[in-house]
Amino acid sequence: MSQPKFIILSGDGINCENETKLAFSNSNCEAKIVHINELLENPTMLRNVQGLALPGGFSFGDELGSGQVLSLKIKYKLKDHFNDFIFKGGAVIGICNGFQVLLKLGLLPDYKKERTISLDHNVSGKFINRWVTIYKHPQTICKWTVLLEDLSINLPIRHGEGRIVYQKNLETTIHNNLLKNGQIVFQYNENVNGSYENIAGICDPTGLIFGLMPHPEAYLYEGLNHIHQKEFFKKAKGQLIFDSIVHYLKNA
């Protein structure tokens, strides 16, 4: 494949679409910002792309819960087209609010099974806005991280509902299955928000559907981290997440 094509959703409270588009454009792929209403009216657009990004923000003001309204719109108005897109190997990333949407859609941890994971309020009960260090799990199968040779990466987080919780009384079983399948992608280096085993991101069993709470699109250049101001336009590790999936799709 010469140049993969991606749709980046926008509208109704999504607020990171421009940074996300820049990340894909930097990866030498064709990226287009599409308002959610446009996609709902023209769902066949999904037939002509290889990837879909659900950026961060507060879609629909988090009414009914974070990501709930957007997930319902996708589920009931795009269901068949969306399922075809997934079945044909479409790559999907959900960042922060987008991750919440993927979980509510049941695409994570496995769209073929009953949903066993949710995102709940941070254990502190407060909105968190800070930089964190996360670690790539060495056994992950995630296609969005294939170019991340250094296992540690610093990224910003900004969320109030980012704590990963498993179905009650099945925590150990669920976690062990994710480990066995290589579905745990990132873990925080400290207890940031109370997530089970400090999980920051997971993928589905194909490694193509990926959700995480930190914002890689906010760290495309070293200068965006206050520690590296002198090397502003040097490529940062956040960019490598987008480079990874484009590299994978080009060589698949």
The yes-or-no answer on residue 114 being catalytic is no
Quote the tokens at residue 206: 């194909």
CB 46, CB 90: distance < 8 Å = yes
CB 235, CB 27: distance < 8 Å = no
Amino acid, res. 216: P
Cis peptide before 109 (omega within 30 of 0): yes
Catalytic residue, chosen from 17, 19, 217, 222, is 217
How is the chain split among helix, strand and coil, in percent rounded to 5? 40, 25, 35
CB 7, CB 53: distance < 8 Å = yes
Within 8 A by CB and 6+ apart from 64, the residues are none
The yes-or-no answer on residue 215 being catalytic is yes
The yes-or-no answer on residue 175 being catalytic is no
Catalytic residue, chosen from 137, 215, 222, 247, is 215
Residue 250 phi/psi, 5-degree rounding, is -65, -30
Catalytic residue, chosen from 96, 137, 159, 247, is 96
Strands 209-212, 199-203: parallel, antiparallel or unpaired by DSSP?
antiparallel
Q: Where are the beta strands (DSSP E) in 163-222?
A: 163-166, 184-188, 199-203, 209-212
Give the active site residues: 96, 215, 217
